[in-house]
Chains A and B, each alone.
Chain A
Amino acid sequence: MTKFIAIVGTNSDQSTNRKLLQFMQQHFADKADIELAEIKGWPIFNKPEDKHVPAEALALADKIDQADGVIISTPEYDHSVPASLMNALEWLSYGIHPFVDKPVMITGTSYGTLGSSRAQAHLRIILDSPELRARIMPSSEFLLGHSLQAFDEDGDLTDTEKVDKLDGLFADFETFVDLTKQLNNASGINKQEATDFSWDNLG
């Protein structure tokens, strides 16, 4: 069975992004094994000269390495990705490169109407940077607005149109994961470049 790591893109105790991922975990249980991952309590990235990466980041990097793909669900703070998620991605690209060529599906929720649209666009830019270099599923977006009202007491998404959309996107993501496995001609080079990449040696 396909194995996905689902990263909750916030350190908050209350999060409808966590709820969405928990829903997906249950809803797609017969299709994939989805494991939720948290980023709470990680130290703030300070670019240590000894390149020491905290244990939390190493553990998640290991899980990502072994997974077929990653799902990230992001809230939106100040029109962008929360600092806690940015922080996790900084550690996950500092001397370790679990995201290189890894298929990624982005989702997001918000209390208001927009469903974290700006944060998702921001996250794509970040995941496209040289030391992350993820394979983000193109031309797809799952924006869940008014997320406080979106789930029933069992944690199920109540809007059937939204569920249909999510079903479609998830099926596409599984196909995308398979396709990505064939896009392997450059993967060795990509990994090597990300490893060799050093802002210090550029310019």
Chain B
Amino acid sequence: MKLVGIAGSTEDHSYNRTLLKFMASHYGEEADIELLDINDVPMFNQSDDQTDSDAVQYLNRKILAADGVIIATPEHNHTLTASLKSVIEWLSFNIHPFNDKPVMIVGASYYDQGSSRAQLMLRQILESPGVNAIVMPGNEFLLANVKDAFDENNNLKDARTVDFLGSTLQKFVKFVKVINTLNEPTTAEEEDLSASGKIDTTVEGVDMNADDWVEQAAAKTHAAEGDDYIKLDRGLLTVNQLNMFLNTMPMELTYADSNNQFIYYNKMLPTEKMLAPRRPGQTGDPMSSVHPGRAVKHVKQVINALRTGKTDLVKMPVPGNTPDRFIMHYYKAMRDADNQYKGINEWVLDLAPIVKYYLEATGQQLVADPNAKVDATSGASAKGAEKPDATASASVEEAKPEETATDATTSASVDEADTPATPAAPVAPAEPEPAAEVDGTSGASES
């Protein structure tokens, strides 16, 4: 799990930074904690918008990419510091990286209070509509008398404090998982095909629908290319080698990420020769741009079944298959090491040559199954006999959309025989920004 830590102070000797550093080094097994620097963030001023400054964008990126945030706050004048408040104001003005983000508050102070008042105020601020973070309830960690709390190696001296902080962090790790599961679209209706959310790999500032999205996004990310090496699991290839490798796969491959953005296909054939035609300019498009409106419902169902783990594989024959041509679409959920949903690997291939070769090589012939519920000439999907689905396949772009509505065998039936899937992993496709503030006093807006 990836967490980021923000020390709410810009002073040189911040015990709150020391506390976060201790947490990062001491509890590495619980989570990977990266400290973020707020020193270069300017004072918030709504009439001098510096949202695009490096310091603000750095925090925005890091927080968006993190599973959760830990904030360590000092207490000045019974409240949090202006420097921390200024950071939060930038991050709730025109951008909202804290939206639905799990946050844990800790604090250290010189006195017995241990930043108790600052923590309460910070909690209230983080829960205001413009920020909209989800702060872990209870589990208050107040570190009082900090001047005596650390040894010369900046380790917390008191063993009970170390244990308590560790157990609090453990709870936060669980809290992060629960909250990020809550944020997951759990129903097909909630799937956002317009890809308006953001995931940690989303390239911001490039028009998804641009025909040269690939070139623009590559420039923006300084992407490896040509003879650059890429370390893979398991191997080492250059980008050129990887392209040759993928472009000689005996199937058409398409990558849609967990934000429902179409970001790759193996361009081995011209569009018109593809089984499921894709155009180079479509890469980068949100899923909504590459599906006809009537397919939306079905596409959402397929994505959501994969995202939530109802199944790990959806397969369907395309309409209009013949004994000589049996094109299948497969949709496989991709998950990371933590079992979090990361997108769909779609492959398309013609099974007919494989079956034909098998029959020839083994001296056999096909015989119609008298008990079959499907028309043997079109659609051999075992489960295909379920309800006809008028909205048809979820392929990126239908070759012949007009046919799909009439074919009764096309179905995205979820194959129950597939490996039982684990429950949805907590990927957090960021919600769209909250709509207009309910009240002008909320959010970092002028009054």
- Residue numbers of A with Cβ under 8 A of B are 10-17, 40, 42, 44-49, 75-84, 86-87, 89-90, 93, 108-119, 122, 125-126, 128-129, 131-132, 146-147, 199-200, 202-203
Contacts and interface: CB of A to CB of B under 8 A. Distances in A.
Interface string B285-299: 000000000000000
B76 interface: yes
Given A12-B47, A111-B447, A203-B112, A82 B128 contact: no
Given A83-B89, A86-B85, A112 B442 contact: yes
B144 A115 contact: no
A200 B47 CA distance: 37
A129 B82 contact: no
B82 A110 contact: no
In this complex, the member of B47, B76, B112 whose beta carbon has the largest number of chain A beta carbons within 10 angstroms is B76
Contacts of B83: 44-46, 83, 87
A86 B92 contact: no
B294 to A, nearest CB: 42
Given A80-B85, A84-B44, A199-B111, A112 B79 contact: no
B441 A118 contact: yes
Q: Which 6 A-B pairs have the closest CB atoms?
A: A111-B440, A112-B440, A87-B82, A112-B439, A83-B86, A110-B447
Given A14-B47, A87-B43, A128-B78, A79 B86 contact: no
In this complex, the member of B80, B112, B439 whose beta carbon has the largest number of chain A beta carbons within 10 angstroms is B439
B258 interface: no
In this complex, the member of B12, B79, B112 whose beta carbon has the largest number of chain A beta carbons within 10 angstroms is B79
A173 B11 CA distance: 38
Contact of A44 (B43, B76, B112): B43
Contacts of B89: 77-78, 82-83
Nearest to A91: B82
Contacts of B447: 15-17, 75-76, 108-112, 116, 147
Contacts of B144: 203
29 contacts: A44-B86, A45-B10, A49-B12, A77-B44, A77-B130, A77-B444, A78-B92, A78-B128, A78-B130, A79-B124, A80-B128, A83-B86, A83-B88, A84-B45, A86-B81, A87-B82, A87-B86, A110-B440, A110-B441, A112-B441, A112-B447, A115-B441, A117-B441, A125-B78, A129-B77, A129-B79, A146-B440, A147-B447, A202-B111
Contacts of B85: 77-78, 80-83, 86
Interface string B434-447: 00011111111111
Interface residues of B, number: 50
Given A12-B47, A44-B83, A49-B12, A78 B76 contact: no
A125 B440 contact: no
Interface in B175-197: none
B125 interface: yes
Interface of B is mostly: loop
Given A78-B130, A79-B124, A79-B125, A111 B47 contact: no
Interface string B35-51: 00000001111110000
Nearest to B122: A80
A201 B145 CA distance: 10
Interface of B: 9-13, 42-47, 76-83, 85-86, 88-89, 92, 109-112, 117, 121, 124-125, 127-128, 130-131, 144-145, 147, 437-447
Contacts of A202: 110-112
A121 B447 CA distance: 16
Contact of A89 (B77, B130, B438, B445): B77
Contacts of A110: 439-441, 447
A202 B444 CA distance: 35
In this complex, the member of A80, A83, A93 whose beta carbon has the largest number of chain B beta carbons within 10 angstroms is A83
B444 A78 contact: yes
Contact of B45 (A12, A17, A147): A12
Contact of B124 (A15, A80, A116): A80
A23 to B, nearest CB: 15
Contacts of A10: 46, 446
A27 B82 CA distance: 33
Contacts of B441: 76, 79, 110-119
A109 B124 CA distance: 20
B50 to A, nearest CB: 12
A42 B42 CA distance: 11
Given A113-B439, A203-B112, A126 B77 contact: yes
Given A44-B43, A79-B125, A118-B441, A15 B446 contact: yes
A85 B121 CA distance: 15
Given A47-B9, A119-B441, 17 more contacts: A11-B47, A16-B447, A46-B11, A78-B442, A79-B128, A80-B79, A83-B82, A86-B77, A87-B83, A90-B82, A110-B447, A111-B441, A112-B442, A118-B441, A200-B110, A203-B144, A203-B147
A86 B446 contact: no
Contacts of B125: 78-80
A200 B42 CA distance: 28
A13 B445 CA distance: 13
